[in-house]
Structure 1
Amino acid sequence: MVDLEIPLRHLSVRLLGVMALCVSGALAEPAVVSPRLQVKFPALTGGLASESTAVPVGESLFVVVVAPGANPTSPEFLSGGQRVGVEIVGHDPVSRLAFLKVPASVPTRDMQWLKETAKNPGVALQFMEGGKLLNCQVTTWVKQVGGKILPLALIQVDFGRQAPPPGTPLLDGAGRIAGIVFQSAGNTSGYAIPVEAVHRVKHDICDGNGQLTRGWLGLALQANAQLPQVSRVLPASPAAGAGILPNDVLTAVGSRAIKDYADAANAFFYLMPDQPVSVSLQRNGTPMEFSLTPVAPK
C-alpha cells in the first residue's frame, strides 16, 4: 500500500532515482530562445555537473532543468558567453525544475506557453538547434520506466537525431512552447516535461513560498493492483470528510482520467492546496462524483 500524497520531502530522493532512468512546416518568424542563454550547474560531491538551456517564463524570469548530482544552488548563467549574476527563486527536486531571476539587462524574448500539452501521440513539434528550426514528433506519454512509476508523466519525443540539451523548448506550429526537454532517452529519443508541469511548479515556487506543495486528499492506493482502487482513507482527511471509502475505484481526478496507479500518481502531482477538485469513482459498479478541497500535507 502506498500513500500517493506523502509529503515531497520524503518522495524526492526515491523518485529522483526513478526520474534519472530513464513536424512539419517552418514558421515565418519563429519565436525561439536564444541558444546563447545557457546555465551551468557544478557537481555535488560524488555527482556530475550539468547544463540547461534557459527558457523565459516571465519578466527576467527563466526556467531550467537541473540534472541529479548537480548543485542547483550555484548556477552559472551565461548570456553571450558572459557570466551574469542571478537570483535563485527556487528548485523542485522531483520535477528537476529551477527558476532563476536575472537582471533586466539580460536580453529576453517574450514567449507564449500553451496551457497544456496535447495528449495524442503523433503531434508535430519543433525545436531550435544550431540556429535552425528542426522537426520532432511526440511518440507517446511515459508514466513509468523500468517498471517504476514516475511522479509525473513525461512526453517521449522522437527528434530524428540526438536529443537536444535539457531545457530546450519544444514549439507547436504557432511557435508556442508545448514542453521542455528533460533528458535523453537514448538513440534519437528523449523525454520532455509537459507545459502543465512547468506551470504547476512555477505557481508554488514563484508565486508561493519557494517550494512545491502538493495538495493532499488522504488517499492510499495499492501500487501493484490492476485497478486504481482505494486501499485506505486517512482519518480527518478531505477524502474521509467527503465520504470516499476503501475499495472505491478512481476513474478521474479533475480533468485527468484514471485507469491505473500511474495515472493517479500523475493526477495527484497537480493538486493544489485550497483549490477544489472533482473526484470521480465507482463504488460497487455505481459511478459517483465528489468535490474535494485538498489541503497542505501535515
Structure 2
Amino acid sequence: MQSVARLARCLGPLILLAASACERGGTVQPGGYPDFADLVERVSPAVVNISTVATEVQAPDQDGHGAVPESFEEVPDWFRRFFDPPSEPISPEDVYPPEQQSLGSGFILSDDGYILTNYHVIRGASEIIVRLLDRRQFAAELIGSDEASDLALLRIEAQDLPVARLGGSLDLRPGQWVLAIGSPFGFDYSVTAGIVSAKGRALATEQYVPFIQTDVAINPGNSGGPLFNLAGEVVGVNSQIYSQSGGYQGVSFAIPIDVAAKVARQLRETGTVTRGWLGVVVQEVDRDLAQQFGLDKPEGALIARVLPESPAARAGLREGDVILRYNGEPLPSSSSLPHLVGVTDPGEVATLDVVRGGRRQRIDVDVGTLRAEPTALAAATPTPTPRPTPHRTLGMALRALTADERREAQVVNGGLMITSVTDGPAARAGIRAGDVLLQIGGQQVDSLDRFAEVSGRLTPGQTVAVLVQRRGAPLFLALDVPAPVPG
C-alpha cells in the first residue's frame, strides 16, 4: 500500500503536466516533456518568410535584430556590454552591398492577406517578398509601421489564407512552455522551444513594450515570427536577443500579442499609431530616495520633470511626486509607466495614486496625445561665462548658467551650473561637474544667493533629495548633509 502511495506521489506531477498539455492542445512524451510535433504541423501554414531588398545602405545590427544605440555614452553600463562598439570603424559597404537582402519572419493575421512582422525586418526596404509554406511568393505592400514598438503591417494580394490564432499574453506565467517558428539564418520554418523566463521586461531601446523574456533560441531571421503557447495561439512576436556574439545566448524577447494586436489594428485602420501622453520625465526610486519621499520601499515612478502645458502640468502633478499606481495598476518600477500611458487612448481620464510629501493622494489626468517632435527652447543671446563660487561644505563649485548652456541643457527657468566636484557629500551623492542643479531639499535654486539660503537651512546629518539636469535629462539624487566645517 505504501509503495502505491509513493508511486502516486512520483507520478502526480507528470499526470498534471499531461492533463495541462492535453487541455491546451499538446501531448506529452514518455519523458514528461511536451510533444510539439502536431502543434507545429497545425500552426506552421500561418507563418511566413519575409525577404527584402533595400537600396539604401544600412550598417549591420550588432544584436542581429534591432537597432544599435547611436551613442554608447547614453546607455547604462549594464546595457552597454551587449552592444560593444567595434574597435575601429567599419564601412557599411564592407559588410552589405548597396542593394542588400534581409531575411525575417512574420505571421498571417487575416485570410485576405494582412501580415504582422517587426519594423526592423522591413526598415529601408524598396521591395518586400513574402513566401508561404506552400512555396508561393507574393510582393507585399507596407500598410504601416511603428518604430516605437518595432512592428509593421504588410498585405499581400491573396485570399483564403491560413490564419494564426491570437491568444492572450496577460495570462502567461513564467515557466510555461512556448515555441517559436521562423527562419533563423535563412533556414525556413525552423522550430525552437523553451519556457517563459519573465514578463514585463523593460529594455533601454523601447519604452512602450513590456517584453516577454524567454529562453527560446532566437537568431537573426526569427525576427517578426510568432511565439506560440501549447494551445497553438500566438502570444508574442519574437523581436530581440541579448548577445555578445550576435547569436543566441539564452535570453530572448518577444512583444506581447496584446500590444502587437492593438498596434496592428491601428495600422490597418489609419496607417499610424496613436499613444497616450502625460508629459512627465520619470526615474527609478532607490532605497535612499524612497526614504526621502516617504515610501516604505523602493517602488513607483519618481517624477523628475513636468513638461510645461502638458496634461500632467494641467492636472497639478509636480517634480518629486511618486506615482505608485496608474489606473489601479501598481508600478513596481518607473519602467512600468510608459507602456501603461502609451496604451491609454488620448482623451481618456487616468487615475494616478501619488505620494507627495509623504502623503498619498489620488489625481485624475486627462491623457493627451504623444507627439514625436520634442518641444524646442527658444534661442537666446550668448552671455559671458560667470565665475564659479565654491561651496566648501557640500564639495562643489557653482555659477549661473549662460544662455547657450541653458538652451543646451533644456532648462527654461532657474538652475546653476556645477563646474567642479571635490571629494565630499556632492561626489558621494553622484553629482558630477557639468550637471545643472535645479532643486535641493524640494526648493528651487535660481541664483547663488538662493542656493546659499536653501543650503544654509539644511539640517546636518539629514539626507535631502537633489534634482539635477544631466545631458538634458532630469535626475534625483540623495545627498547627505554634513556637519558644518569650522571657519
TM value normalised by structure 1:
0.76
Tell me if 1:271 matches 2:344. Answer: yes
Q: More strand by proportion, 1 or 2?
A: 1
Contact persistence 2:39–2:230 (CA under 8 A): no
Return the alpha-carbon distance in structure 1 between the equivalents of residues 38 and 175 of structure 2: 23
1:100 is matched with which residue? 154
Greater helix content: 2
1:211 is aligned to 272
**TM-score normalized with structure 2 length:** 0.49
Q: CA 1:27–1:239 in structure 2 vs 1: closer, same or farther (change >3 Å)?
A: farther
Between structure 1 and structure 2, the one with the greater Rg is 2
Q: Name the residue aligned to 1:138.
A: 196
Whether the aligned pair in 2 keeps the contact of 1:25 and 1:173 (CA below 8 Å) is no
Shift of 1:109: 2.0
Task: Look up the SS of the partner of 1:138 in the other structure.
Answer: strand
**How do residues 32-71 of structure 1 correspond to structure 2 at under 5 angstroms?**
32-34=43-45, 37-43=48-54, 44-48=56-60, 49-58=101-110, 59-67=112-120, 70-71=123-124
What is the CA–CA distance in structure 1 between the aligned matches of 2:220 and 2:121, rounded to whole Å?
18
Tell me how far apart the structure 1 counterparts of residues 219 and 306 of structure 2 sit (CA, whole Å).
Answer: 46
Residue ranges of structure 1 left out of the alignment (5+ in a row): 1-22
User: Aligned partners of 1:163, 1:91: CA distance in 2, in Å?
Assistant: 20
Q: Give the secondary structure class of the aligned counterpart of 2:211.
A: strand
1:141, CA displacement in angstroms?
3.6
SS at match of 1:67: helix
2:258 pairs with one of 171, 196, 212: 196
CA distance 1:161–1:153, change in 2 (3 Å): closer
Q: Give the share of equivalent positions with the same residue, in percent.
A: 19
Cα contact 1:24–1:135 (8 A) shared by 2: no
User: What's the Cα RMSD here?
Assistant: 3.2
Alignment CA distance shift 1:69-1:177 (3 Å): closer
CA pair 33-284 structure 1, distance change in 2 beyond 3 A: farther
2:240 match: 183
Asked if residue 166 in structure 1 is aligned to residue 239 in structure 2, the reply is: no
Give the Cα–Cα distance (whole angstroms) in 2 for the partners of residues 212 and 131 of structure 1: 30
Distance 1:260 1:142, change over 3 A: same
Note if 1:257 corresponds to 2:330: yes
Q: Secondary structure at the match of 1:42?
A: strand
Give the superposition deviation at 1:64: 0.8
What's the CA shift string for 1:235-254, capped at 9, x where partnerless? 43322333323321111223
Shift in Å, 1:98: 0.7
Q: CA deviation at 1:255?
A: 5.5
Deviation of residue 69 (structure 1)? Answer: 8.7
Residue 138 of structure 1: how far off its partner (Å): 1.0
The DSSP-based 3-state class of the residue aligned with 2:116 is strand
Change (3 A) 1:144 1:134: closer
| Distance in 2 of aligned mates of 1:236 and 1:51 | 44
Aligned residues: 272
**How far does the alpha carbon of each residue in 1:40-64 deviate from its partner, in whole angstroms, 9 at most, with x for none?**
1234313354322221223421101
Residue 38 of structure 1 deviates from its aligned partner by 1.4
Q: What does residue 281 of structure 1 align with?
A: 354
Higher alpha-carbon deviation: 166-175 or 110-119: 110-119
Whether contact under 8 Å (1:47, 1:70) holds in the other structure is no
Q: 1:238 to 1:89 in 2, by over 3 A?
A: same
SS of the residue corresponding to residue 213 of structure 1 reads coil
CA distance in 1, matches of 2:332, 2:339: 11
Higher RCO structure, 1 or 2 (CA under 8 Å, sep 6+):
1
The 8 Å contact of residues 284 and 302 in structure 2, kept in 1 or not, is answered as no
Q: Distance in 1 between matches of 2:305 and 2:164?
A: 44
Indicate the larger mover: 199-208 or 67-76: 67-76
Q: Distance in 2 between matches of 1:202 and 1:170?
A: 16
